[in-house]
Structure 1
Amino acid sequence: MKPGFSAVGLLAAVLASVPARAEDKPNPWFQIPATASFSTGDTWTYAGETHRLYGVQACLRGTYFTNAAGGRVDCGEASLAMLVSLIRDLKPQCYTAAWQVATKTRFVVCVAQPVSGSAAGSRIDLGTALISTGWAFAAITPNGTPVHAPYIVAQEVAKKQHLGLWQFANVPDPNAIILHNIRNASNAAGQSSNPPANR
């Protein structure tokens, strides 16, 4: 065997065992494609997967508030319009914070870094942008605690300043509605598991 061939083989083996450099790893951040289908003010789908903003709860479709002109407005549609508008204007990048296999749902955090305008050079969290302007709410768990604590702070500021949906006196709080439905379902399940008393 010629010495040159064994050196080449050894070099190839060494190079094959070297871990990939950081720039060779796939980028975990992704854009929201123009073909995404928006279903609520916190959720969209594409490529057979649902993407939901982590810690954000949009106003529910089919619930209404009365605007300043006295018109009845679907609260969920208002949240949806703001989400689509912010995504179009900010073009955020998202990453998966959690993955729910059974429902093919990605819980995502999205961040924009504008290069022009008054926000140039800053980092804007999409969830914070929606909640702090009053067009979405901080999501809460079934026991009533916030999913992401900073969002509840942003919500309280928006509420106190009557921003976005909070400017309307009869805005339907989606968290209150969801918790009410969970408690009703829980009570109904508890009653159905108890056999009726003998009479």
Structure 2
Amino acid sequence: MSEAFAPVRGASRTACRALGFAGALLAATLSPAAAQASAQAQPAFGIPKDGVTFETGDTWQQNGQRMRLYGVQACIRGTTFTNPAGGTVDCGEASLSYLAAVIRDTSPSCVPVAQIAGAPATIIVVCTAQVGGQTLDLGTILVSQGFAFASFSNDAKPVYMPYLVAELTAKQAKRGLWAASDLPHPNALLFKTVGNQR
């Protein structure tokens, strides 16, 4: 991984969960139709080749701004699975590495659909990439290849149903992270944390 695409080292599990909760909170108020309408009204921007810092497999910083993919939940950093060789692998790092590779190889174009307050504010984006002469949704690429998951709202409903369909297809085919029998599914962990806080 190039220095330009370096992840944020030492990002805590709590910080990653907070990003997941922020996405879930947004999902409760931003419907897929509203996200699509907002995306159509905004100008597109690219992800630069230099100066991008990946925080998770669904969130990165560019030009001092935090971007997060709409409807996508990456593995949580600090959780682990066993790879085919029997080694222990950080699931969040695997998600992050795949996102960085796809962005590096496809140079996606993104549009903002919402913003979550914070320091820095998190801009929720929908991105597309050119792959094999086709325009594909970045979230669909990540989820269908098994390196990210459909995010859920606080009422346990998928934020964007096509991502859940892509996730179930990847699970059935054992693509990407689904090849691991001990995959630490991030939504199960997030819902457990929410349940413990209630």
1:177 aligns with 2:156: no
State the match for 1:138 in structure 2. Answer: 150
**After the TM superposition, which residues 1-199 of structure 1 pair with which residues of structure 2 at under 5 Å, given as runs?**
28-33=43-48, 34-103=50-119, 104-114=121-131, 119-120=132-133, 122-186=134-198
Unaligned runs of 5+ in 2: 1-40
Pair member with larger Rg: 1
Structure 2 distance, partners of 1:80, 1:136, is 9
Query: What's the offset of the Cα at 1:98?
Result: 1.0
Could you tell me the TM-score, scaled by structure 1's length?
0.75
Q: Would the aligned equivalents of 2:42 and 2:112 in 1 still touch at CA under 8 Å?
A: no
Q: Amino acid of the residue matched to residue 111 of structure 2? A: Y
Offset of residue 27 of structure 1:
7.0
Q: Secondary structure in 1 aligned to 2:190?
A: helix
Give the fraction of aligned pairs with identical amino acids, expressed as a percent. Answer: 48
- CA distance in 1 between counterparts of 2:143 and 2:171 reads 10
Q: Which residue identity does 1:136 align to in structure 2?
A: A
Supply the distance in 1 between the matched residues of 2:130 and 2:172 (Cα, whole angstroms).
28
SS in structure 2 at match of 1:86:
helix
Q: Which has the higher contact order (CA 8 A, sep 6+)?
A: 2
Structure 1, 64-73 or 100-109: larger mean CA deviation: 100-109
Call closer, same or farther: CA 1:83–1:97 in 2, change over 3 Å: same
SS in 2 for 1:123: strand
Question: Matched residue of 1:113: which SS?
Answer: strand
Q: What CA deviation, in whole Å up to 9, does each residue of 1:129-181 have, x standing for no partner?
A: 00000000001112211111110000000001110000110000000000110
State the alpha-carbon separation in 1 of the partners of residues 42 and 157 from structure 2.
Answer: 32
Q: What's 2:28 paired with?
A: none
RMSD: 1.4
Find the aligned partners of 1:70 and 1:92 in 2 and give their Cα distance.
34
User: Relative to 1, partners in 2 of residues 1:138 and 1:27: Cα closer, same or farther, differing over 3 Å?
Assistant: closer
